[in-house]
Structure 1
Amino acid sequence: MAKIVFMGTPDFAVPALRQLIAHHNVIGVVTQPDRPAGRNRQVQMSPVKRVALDAGIPVLQPEKIRRADSINELKQWTPDVYVVAAFGQILPQAVLDIPPYGSVNVHASLLPRWRGAAPIQAAIRAGDSETGITIMRMDAGLDTGPMLSKRAIPIAHDETGQTLHDKLCILGGELLIETLPAYLNGEIIPQPQDDSLATFAPRIEKEEGKIDWTQSAAQIERMIRAFTPWPGTWTFWNGKLLKILSGDVIDGTAEPGHVVDRGGRVAIGTASGLYVPARVQLEGRGGVSIDAFVRGYPAFIGTILV
């Protein structure tokens, strides 16, 4: 049974950690420091830390893992391999090289497509028909290491960032447990990535959720799904923030941002096609159907969203 140190932080990493606890000897967990979260900004531990503590596994929470004191703490453990899933800090080569079998990463895309911090959202926004999980041996680059295994799943037409996240985190744990024993036994030859096929998915900033109505309706619809639940997508109506929660695309034309009635349906003009919102949420209110919203605000039709 392999000795493993696991590095991860959010919900995405939890299934992989649970699988490792069930099948291997997890001797330590490294996760991000406790931070304020939620509306009340109360300090909370990460999902990974909660699982580790429940299992009685020692936890290390370095503010900066590249610091010499953090590296020295890591060296007190003697694992066969590190397993990393959405840890949240870049690991320097000095850390990657500590275990004899190096560091293995669970990445939420079919590398080399969508290297970076936000591959799930990037795949939806690009209109990809499939995505998946890649298990790779890490190097000092950004998701550039050689691949140990891959598994693809289709992206549904109504897929959101949340639904795809939930599918991929389960798949990641399953593929990890299938791959790890063969890797540690020398039965897998790591395959280099083709850098010429690489695409990048940088970290998403909250302000990216503002809708640009000069994009096409198809682009806007994919963005709204990709950014569900975070950072969400919004526009401004009469000086108030209006979240667009879901919707669809239809043929037709209107000036970008103009709210029109098309055959009894509320639609918004874009650069190409019309976006038909299904659910919206005005600031300070709960989410409602677009029909309920227009009943409350009949002057909405004919206005311009910015």
Structure 2
Amino acid sequence: MNVVFAGTPDFAVPPLERLLAGSFRVSAVYTQPDRPAGRGRKPKPSPVKQQAVEVGIPVYQPVSLRDAQAQAELAALKPDVMVVVAYGLILPQAVLDIPRYGCVNIHASLLPRWRGAAPIQRAILAGDKETGVTIMQMDAGLDTGPMLGDVRIPIVAGDTAGSVHDRLAQAGADLLVEVLPRLAAGRLQPVPQPEAGVCYAEKLSKAEARIDWQHSAEALARQVAAFNPWPVAQTAWGDAVLRIWEAEAVAGSSAAAPGEILRADKQGIDVATGNGALRVLRVQAAGGRAVSVADFLNGRELRPGDRFQ
């Protein structure tokens, strides 16, 4: 199959690698324009572009695919299929109609649950016990196309958005190379998404990272997990900001006010919440790096009764 691949972040790299290792011809890669990054704000290529350049695949970086010239360039490639993975640009109907077998998308949820921009984080925040990837035939809607296949994975204790992201990226890559040959052979019957169970995963904002200690310990533990590695949950500690990378809900009750420190030692910092206590295990002070609580408390003293805000 002549495949045109469209993707931008790390999540899209494993599917591209699997296509390159299989019996597919990736004739071109589409990815977002280079963005300024780092202290020097120098333009940085996306992870997908870096992979494509490394193996010598032509790279296209249009600002929009609504442009007639961009559409003509894509049509000239004569793709059998366009594989889209977290690309970041809207594909108008004129683009969806170009490939012989249409455009297929790897989405990091079990559709129709968590359509939209942040499905992994929203699944963890909601306390979902499982998630997965869905490959769908794209249409003009937002993640509304008929489904070609899915894979389920559990969300387990200790998972973060980062760990779930990595497992789903690999699962999506494995499923993709199973689906494409069946699609080309006419052995796949697309399944319309059910109307029941639709929900949307809105884009994350940094404002959501601020911890409200009035919430339950279980909800806050999910918040910490969902926002690792970005934007990272945080709390006010005096005049400073403390980022919380790892935490867990612990059993017990207390009359302490939410945000009050119950104990602090090398095992963790236990903080009262609206229901239960949150044990903070890994933190990052302003200007520092993420460290265990044991290392954080070297040279610092936190006493019961001190408070996070």
Place the TM-score, normalised by the shorter chain, in its bin: over 0.9
Q: Once the two structures are superposed, what CA deviation does each residue of 1:33-52 show, in whole Å capped at 9, x if it has no partner?
A: 01112344332111111111
When normalised by structure 1's length, the TM-score is: 0.94
Letter in 2 for 1:286: R
Q: Is 1:190–2:190 an aligned residue pair? A: yes
* 8 Å CA contact retained: 2:268, 2:280: no
Tell me the equivalent position of 2:273: 270
More displaced stretch, 5-14 vs 74-83: 74-83
Q: Is 1:223–2:226 an aligned residue pair? A: no
* 8 Å CA contact retained: 1:121, 1:227: yes
In the TM superposition, residue 243 of structure 1 has moved relative to its aligned partner by 0.7
In the TM superposition, residue 265 of structure 1 has moved relative to its aligned partner by 6.0
How many angstroms apart in 1 are the aligned matches of 2:203 and 2:66? 20
Q: Is 1:257–2:256 an aligned residue pair? A: no
* 8 Å CA contact retained: 2:263, 2:303: no
Tell me the equivalent position of 2:8: 9
Q: Once the two structures are superposed, what CA deviation does each residue of 1:148-187 show, in whole Å capped at 9, x if it has no partner?
A: 0011111121101111111111111110001111011111
RMSD of the TM alignment (CA)? 1.7
When normalised by structure 2's length, the TM-score is: 0.93
More displaced stretch, 116-125 vs 139-148: 116-125
Q: Once the two structures are superposed, what CA deviation does each residue of 1:16-74 show, in whole Å capped at 9, x if it has no partner?
A: 11111222011111000011123443321111111112222111101122233322322
SS in 1 for 2:200: coil
In the TM superposition, residue 91 of structure 1 has moved relative to its aligned partner by 1.4
Change (3 A) 1:48 1:266: closer
* 8 Å CA contact retained: 2:227, 2:233: yes
SS in 1 for 2:282: strand
* 8 Å CA contact retained: 1:112, 1:197: yes
In the TM superposition, residue 301 of structure 1 has moved relative to its aligned partner by 3.6
In the TM superposition, residue 295 of structure 1 has moved relative to its aligned partner by 4.6
Letter in 1 for 2:308: L
How many angstroms apart in 2 are the aligned matches of 1:123 and 1:299? 34
Q: Once the two structures are superposed, what CA deviation does each residue of 1:214-250 show, in whole Å capped at 9, x if it has no partner?
A: 2111111011111111111111111101011112112
How many angstroms apart in 2 are the aligned matches of 1:121 and 1:288? 23
Tell me the equivalent position of 1:63: 63
Letter in 1 for 2:272: G
Tell me the equivalent position of 1:52: 52
Letter in 1 for 2:110: L
Tell me the equivalent position of 1:303: 306
Identity of aligned residues (%): 48
Q: Once the two structures are superposed, what CA deviation does each residue of 1:108-147 show, in whole Å capped at 9, x if it has no partner?
A: 1111111111111111111111111111000111111000
Equivalent positions of 1:43-122 (< 5 A) are 43-122=43-122
SS in 2 for 1:166: helix
In the TM superposition, residue 83 of structure 1 has moved relative to its aligned partner by 0.5
How many angstroms apart in 2 are the aligned matches of 1:45 and 1:259? 44
In the TM superposition, residue 262 of structure 1 has moved relative to its aligned partner by 8.3
* 8 Å CA contact retained: 1:294, 1:300: no
How many angstroms apart in 2 are the aligned matches of 1:222 and 1:154? 15
How many angstroms apart in 1 are the aligned matches of 2:188 and 2:302? 64
* 8 Å CA contact retained: 1:266, 1:301: no
SS in 2 for 1:13: helix
SS in 2 for 1:167: helix
Q: Structure 2: give runs of 5+ residues left out of the alignment.
A: none
Letter in 1 for 2:64: K
Tell me the equivalent position of 1:177: 177
Q: Structure 1: give runs of 5+ residues left out of the alignment.
A: none
More displaced stretch, 263-272 vs 142-151: 263-272
How many angstroms apart in 1 are the aligned matches of 2:258 and 2:42? 41
Q: Is 1:282–2:282 an aligned residue pair? A: no
In the TM superposition, residue 88 of structure 1 has moved relative to its aligned partner by 1.1
